[in-house]
Structure 1
């Protein structure tokens, strides 16, 4: 029985609380939350767990084997560092940290102490994503030329991160899981509508060494919620619509045949439109799988799929995208100022 403490019972922490408390191999020993009303409610619902305002008691308790951190990103590093230094296994909500420097330090500590450091990239445990990976790995889709994602909704605006750091980790983790590669180039643009220092819309383009391009459409400003990923292959194409409960994954036997460079100047590609199939997608709740994988990784029964090195790669790409996004925002602001000055001069 693994004794676990949960730090943070906010939007995502509530889900972790549910699955942690229902896992028969885990004893939820302690719960941490800063809000008094939440602690009072937790004390009634979980009488066997110790309820704390901060994590210091958890860190000092030698009987607690592991910490699950679902707090604001700014606190991920300090809590995870303290937990690892105290000899505890740690799982962190995505993104792992606010910088690659922090993530690198946590990875080094976990390896030095021989502890499990895991990042909760839940979508990698989704049966639809695993189906996409099977399609890519088996060569069913052929050479993948593009990955296109739409991850948009109205809110939820986050106080400590922008839309890039909130939504992109999902797609970046799926990209890493499917292709085991980091991009060679990252471009980004976006806009700040609500907070002039925090983008709420972002468009990210990632170029890969194998000539694949990935495009991420991220927004907190959309009137409709969309969770859709399209993979374009030379043999077939696949689309995953996470909001389609009946047929979430569809495989299109469609594509184009590209001629040689000499013929391409005078001939259009040949188009192939074939059948559409929808494989059966089923499996346990992804988050429950995440928690069980964390437990089994601690026991040495499974190799951790989303370990610190995995989380570090995602943070590195986020930093590259953030840098590109800031450059784009500065260029737009400069152009606006110049246009205003020209109009004013006239």
Structure 2
């Protein structure tokens, strides 16, 4: 017997959920929901969906009445997540939610508790946590191949898409924060953010009282261990970068998505002191072999296997989603205060 799945929201990312659940051997796509008819039409044509087998509708209420529905994927705008996910869980459906889970950490925890109380799955699509390269990086750090960890840095820039509902911070930062938290095994205790706005100076985010959607943001995260990381985010930069690094006493681990053949490398090297001089030693570069996978496919499969096994999984759970949203909310406060350090 296959699990019946409905996908809510088939925009730029939602269509990939449609593809994955159409291909998954243990699921049947039974409904697609989107508020725009054009999006439904494009999705139907792209995947040659049979409207007699897959309900295509602009109304979630119609989907709730389907007797063969087991699980819901929520890939709608983040501002709608809380009400939709709450309704889906109250109706008895497992939920896979696009990140961020909601825009409020308290709401995230409320939904997590609701899922637990009803013995339902609530998994958040923090896709990078399911990336085999990121998993390998965590193993390298855990094995202390870098020596004593010192600091980290990341850059996530491109030219478009420009969001009109959230700023570059909320659009981009969650990926790198999730990776750093996973690699370090801890969450920030202080955060700081500074940014600039050029394109949408009068727009206001739902969680902010101040106008302007920042196009560029500099983020600093302070961890309990003393580790600090600096992140550069911008959607107004044609120099596309997806690069994240952790520096240790014996070398630097580099995750560079733009280097498709060798996305994970270790640049090794350290200093030997001779009198007052510091002499570089042991310099080399080593590419790390990583078995490639499609992270989103792993997300979808993890969700389905947890349902079938009735297994509560803390990996990329609602609790993890709440922690990341808490960091983003604190960064927004810092951004509004022109870079004040905010305690978590």
The 5 A counterparts of 1:134-173 are 134-173=139-178
Distance 2:12 2:153 in 1: 27
Distance 1:309 1:116 in 2: 12
Correspondence 1:320 to 2:330 = yes
Shift of 1:106: 0.7
Of residues 239, 250, 262 in structure 2, which corresponds to 1:224? 239
CA offsets per residue over residues 258-305 of structure 1, 9 Å max, x none? 89xxxxxx9454433422110222232111111101111112276351
SS at match of 2:331: helix
Partner of 1:10: 11
The 5 A counterparts of 1:154-303 are 154-196=159-201, 197-256=212-271, 267=276, 269-300=278-309, 303=313
Shift of 1:177: 1.4
Native 8 Å contact 2:192 2:339 kept in 1: no
Distance 1:256 1:291 in 2: 45
Distance 2:185 2:309 in 1: 23
The 5 A counterparts of 1:63-142 are 63-142=68-147
Native 8 Å contact 2:314 2:320 kept in 1: no
Of residues 29, 41, 46 in structure 1, which corresponds to 2:49? 46
Partner of 1:341: none
Distance 1:56 1:246 in 2: 46
Native 8 Å contact 1:191 1:329 kept in 2: no
Residues matched between the structures, number? 324
Larger Rg: 1
SS at match of 1:209: coil
Partner of 2:205: none
TM-score normalized by the length of structure 1? 0.89
